[in-house]
Amino acid sequence: MPIDATKPYDDSNIFARILRGEIPCQMVHEDEHALAFRDINPQAPTHILVIPKGAYVSWDDFSTRGSAEEIAGFVRACGLVAREQGLVEPGYRLLANVGRDGGQEVPHLHVHIFGGRGLGPMLSR
**Residue 40: other Cβ atoms inside 10 A:** 10
The CA-based dihedral angle spanning residues 97, 103, 109, 111, taken in that order and rounded to the nearest 10 degrees: -40
Half-sphere exposure of residue 84: CA atoms within 13 angstroms, side-chain side = 14
The reply to whether 110 belongs to the active site is yes
**Of these residues, 33, 108, 110, 112, which one is catalytic?**
110
Any idea which residues carry the catalytic annotation?
110
